[in-house]
Amino acid sequence: MTDYFEVGTRDAAARRGELRLADPVATPAVVDDIVEDAGSRWHEERSAPEGDEATLTVLPHRALPPGTERPVADAFAPDPLDVDAPSAVVVSPATAADHGADAYVLAGATGYVGHAEAFVDAVVTVREAVPDDTALYLPGVATPANAATLAYAGVDLLDETRARARGLEGFYLTTDGEAFLEDLEELPCACAACRGPVASFTREDCADHNANVLRAELARVRGRIADGRLRDYVEGQARFEAWLTATLRRLDQRYGYVETRTPVFRRAELLASTDDALRRVEIQRFADRVTSRYRRRLEAPLVLLPCSARKPYSDSQSHEQFARAIGYRGHVVSMTSPIGVVPNELETTYPAQHYDSVVTGRWTETEIEFVANVLRRYLERAGYDRHVAHVPEDGYREVCERAATATDVDFEYTVVDHPTTDESLAALDAALEGHDSYYKSEREAATVRAIADFQFGPGAGDDVFGPDARTEGRYPKLRVLDGDGTQLAAMVPEYGTLSLTPAGARAWADSDAPTKRVGIGDFVPSGSVLAPGVVDADDAIRPGDEVVVEGPDALAVGRAACHGAAMVESSRGVAVDVRHCEER
């Protein structure tokens, strides 16, 4: 718990926060000017420093190098020191725990630079062992090229040490690497240190330049976090050093760590420009929920369609043509890279209508393998009687063939040359001849229940809404009403999620398997629930989730500002943005 650090905006493991000193510092940040080291305890015992609110005091410590065995680390674990001022404790992965500090310093941080596996293991271990609302400080590691990746991993505080040292060694740093100072014919920077002629540019000037570029890069990172676009930036930045690319991929392999902290939707478009994008949490999460939470409710043959550039797909000209040929006789599922498969009911659900990808006309092997695997998992669970694939040859057909081989499904292909030609559309129409049509109201009812399953958990669509619920309004602005006409929820078309009313919150709280619940103390929330008021929270809560807030005096519903564990661990900041609240 901390009084001097507060997280504001979250973007996966990255956080934009504030170190609340006498002069507040926006993080991620370099902190050379505000850190005071109280010294090592290896040579002499030191008492607790007084500290002050203008600086972050690193408490007396015994730093341990990377790879220190656990018994040794335990023997030299930090002793608790009571300091009534902003403070930081030096820890290793073996000694990381809640020591009551505002920040934690990773001992031997420089030893992890260049070693992706060790770096990720160390950062994740420490970050998960200390309270969420504390800052993580890695001294001696930051450069303009790696700062974004460090922040993406969950690092809040850095310093200029490495950047300045490289400058004094004659290395001119940029966000895409470094160059020998002697090799520069001109200075590709307009910072204060670089405004003179290159002939008079000294190594001291180079150190100043490196520090300037590092600070500018962290300002850019803070902006990216605020916009929810840091991952897009990191995918590019990580390419300039092999160990950073490996670090990004290692973080993707630590799915639980990143997924817990990744919001369920973003306002920014998801850009899928590399194969690494397929490992993004948002894409993996969508595929997992479609193949584990989603349940189809329309009894009709499967009709697989290609995606469209326009989103949601049903608004595109091609899908309007497909819809006329299908005529409510088939269950439409779109197939796309990088998302996988998108049932019609979830076409507006993030990120199905929020992504952009690189279109070359040819699928990569990575894309084919990923989408085929998602389609296989979907088919194994869906239980269709017939499988119609109205897809073109390139990429799509190979995906279908791989999934068919793995599941013993027989696809009926209806595209003759191109999906939208008259001949192909006629073949699609003919394939569905004899099948009964379902009503538009049935599709809309299936849509809101499918979104509830996707959003809250398997079976939530039936548990929350009950057998008598109905919809009204025009898709995608649907409202869900119970048998008495009381509104339970409304569909949010921008993100394809459900927003609950107080009646919907009560139905959810009283259901057989309620999830996403936040317990609070004996008060009535007004506007938001702050972290100190949270008693307990469901571990399944993710940033942006619709949550039910319950306490002795109130029942409320709103949107989570952070993940469940952070709500419980934090001593500052907003936990839930409340939309509706009722006194009990």
Topology adopted by domain 5-159+230-255: TIM Barrel (3.20.20)
- pLDDT tens for 237-273 read 999 999 999 999 999 999 999 999 999 999 888 988 8
The DSSP-derived string for 503-540 is HHHHHHHTSSS--SEEEE-SS--BSEEEGGGEEEE-TT
CATH 2.30.130.10 domain residues, the chain: 516-584
User: What is 444-501's CATH topology?
Assistant: Nuclear Transport Factor 2; Chain: A, (3.10.450)
pLDDT digits (tens, 9 = 90+) for 475-507: 999 999 999 999 999 999 999 999 999 999 998
Residues of the chain with CATH 3.40.50.10630: 270-431
The confidence score (pLDDT) of residue 79 equals 64
Length of the chain in residues, anyone?
584
Task: Report which of 10, 1, 450 is spatially closest to residue 259, judged by C-alpha positions.
Answer: 10
Residue 569: which of 539, 528, 525 has the closest Cα? 539
Written as one string, the DSSP assignment of 63-125 is ---TT--HHHHHHTPPPP---SS-EEEEE-TTT-S--S-SEEEETTGGGGTT-HHHHHHHHHH
* pLDDT recorded at residue 78: 66
Instruction: Kindly report the CATH class assigned to 270-431.
Output: alpha beta
Can you tell me the distance from the alpha carbon of 35 to that of 105, in angstroms, rounded to the nearest whole number?
A: 11
What are the backbone dihedrals phi and psi of residue 509, each rounded to the nearest 5 degrees, phi first?
A: -65, -30
- List pLDDT tens digits, range 196-242: 888 899 999 999 999 999 999 999 999 999 999 999 999 999 999 99
Mean pLDDT value across residues 555-574: 94
Mean pLDDT calculated for residue range 143-172: 98
Contact call for residues 555 and 503 (beta carbons, < 8 A): no
Q: What's the pLDDT at 532? A: 93
Is 7 a residue whose pLDDT tops 90? yes
Looking at CATH, the fold of the domain delimited by 516-584 is given as: 2.30.130
**pLDDT at residue 541, as a whole number:** 96
Residues of CATH 3.10.450.90 domain(s) within the chain?
444-501
Q: Give the global pTM.
A: 0.92
Residue intervals of the chain classified under CATH 3.20.20.105 are 5-159+230-255
